[in-house]
Amino acid sequence: MSYPVDRRGFLRTAGTAAGALSLGGALASCGSSKSGPVTLRWWDYFTLDNFQPGMNRLISDIEAGVPDVKIQRRSFPFAELDRQLALAAISGDLPDIAIVDNVAMNTLGGNHLLADLTDRVDKWGQADQYYKGPWDGCQVGGKTLGIPNNSNCLALYCNTRLLASAGVRPPTTWDELASAAHRLTSGDRHGLALSAIRTEEGVFQFLPFLWQAGGDLDTFSTYGATALSFLHDLIAKGSLSEQCVGWTQQDANTRFLDQRAALQINGPWQIPTLKKAGFDWSVVALPRDRAAATCLGGENWVVMASSKHVDKAWEVLEYTQRPSVLVPYLVSFGDLPSRKDLASQGTWASDPALRLFLSQLPLARPRQYGAHYAEASQTVAEAEQAVLTGTAAPSAAARTAAVKIDKALGTQ
């Protein structure tokens, strides 16, 4: 699936959004007992033309399959949806249903804007059909506050010809990745491309290194230093361009497409573009250090706690998870399923690259760190920028960041 520049993986709450969300606790209400036709207001950020056929079909399916329901859809630019939800929380004009980036669960769920679906999900009895990472991404404070809409994660793309010419096999460990990136670097071509931009998009790509090192945000002083040191060494040896601090994931993919990078870390949304490349490529799991890990991206379905039609909204969510509805929707978007029982259906069942990404979903970790994750994420981004631009040593940057992270996450 081809996405705009900052399509995946970052929390976009801006301006007064964080303050606005705190009002959400006063908006909670119970499901409506009203009968008769119901119009559900639905918000999402799928504004591009290529999304519309699949979305229109999904809505038609819902209106035909769920009794007495009509959908009134509104789309916002990707970077605007969270802010619009925050503003709507102030005005009391929230939608009934939304499709949100999974990292937004931190703020939306942490500030009580989302309906608790736990009892309905328990009665439904299909929670065990989902991969752990996507399902965990819908859990906030011990409650189920959403249903996975789709999922993605990160993996390592390899230029097959360049690796073969250099006698390099796809790396499986950090040591192998460092060696391969060094051997594949030549002239204006770097061995590896990745995004280290100062946004959640860069943090999305950094967190797997932290987890692979054996750590997490609560041990950033130690394991953050390990991850930062590894990336710093790649730049010091010329294997990774220092310009990566300004690259989005789309920029990294452009370097790979132009064959100015032999390897790149990226997601499955790049596959349609890469299929038009004039060279052969493959995808392998991210190289590991102490542990194997990748970062979970994708969207979740949520119901707003303020909705007067929570029961009917839940009927819609449940209906969208039927294979006859879900598979065509995911195929039309080029997305991967979050459900294990759909692994043998859809285009991902036969496409080797998509199958690789699907195989990594069991390892994909959600960024579920609470309502103040955005502050911790920004601190991680600042530490990475400082190290990769040479303004701070990895150990010092990690120690400084750890204090701020612990304060943001309430672990100090």
How confident is the model over 282-298, as pLDDT tens digits?
999 999 999 999 999 99
pLDDT of 75: 97
Q: What is the mean pLDDT of residues 137-156?
A: 96
Span 114-130, average pLDDT = 97
pLDDT in tens, 334-361: 899 999 999 999 999 999 999 999 999 9
Task: Tell me how far CA of residue 321 lies from CA of 62, 177, 299, 315, 342, in angstroms.
Answer: 11, 39, 14, 10, 10
User: Is the pLDDT assigned to residue 22 strictly greater than 90?
Assistant: no
**Separation CA 265–CA 202 (nearest Å):** 11
Question: What is the DSSP annotation of 12-48?
Answer: ---TTHHHHHGGGGGG--PPP---S-EEEEEEE---S
Q: Is the pLDDT of residue 203 over 50?
A: yes
Whether pLDDT at 35 is above 80: no
Please tell me the predicted confidence (pLDDT) of residue 411.
64
**How large is the average pLDDT for residues 252-266?**
98
What is the phi/psi pair of residue 131, to 5°? -60, 150
**Helix residue spans in 137-275 (DSSP H):** 160-165, 174-183, 200-212, 225-236, 249-257, 271-274
The pLDDT > 70 percentage for the chain reads 91
**Amino acid at the residue 45:** Y
Contact 206, 232 (CB under 8 A): no
| pLDDT reported for residue 9 | 37
Is 153:8 a contact under the CB 8 Å cutoff? Answer: no
Q: What was the pLDDT predicted at 140?
A: 92
Q: Which tokens belong to 194?
A: 């990745």
Structure tokens belonging to residue 284: 């392998």
The 10 Å Cβ neighbour count of residue 63 is 15
Closest CA to 105 of 374, 334, 380: 374
Provide the whole-model pTM.
0.87
| Distances, alpha carbon 188 to alpha carbons 13, 248, 249, 258, 262, in Å | 37, 19, 19, 11, 11
**Token pair 């950033």 is at which residue?**
220
Rounded average pLDDT over 248-266 = 97
Token output for 169: 């096999």
Residues 271-329: tens digit of each pLDDT: 999 999 999 999 999 999 999 999 999 999 999 999 999 999 999 999 999 999 999 99
**Rounded CA separation 186/238 (Å):** 9
**Residue-wise over 293-320: b if at least 16 C-beta within 10 A, else e?**
bbbbbbbbbbbbbbbebbbbbbbbbbbb
Question: What is the Cα–Cα distance from 348 to 328, expressed in whole angstroms?
Answer: 12
What is the mean pLDDT of the segment spanning 153-172?
Answer: 98
Average pLDDT value over all residues in the chain: 91
pLDDT of residue 13: 39
Mean pLDDT on 111-124: 96
Say if residue 50's pLDDT is above 50.
yes
Residue 30 pLDDT greater than 60, yes or no: no
For residue range 2-18, list pLDDT tens digits in order: 333 333 333 333 334 44
Please give the Cα distance from 220 to 395 (Å, whole number). 10
State the DSSP code for 186: B
* Pick from 292, 246, 250, 265: nearest CA to 389: 246
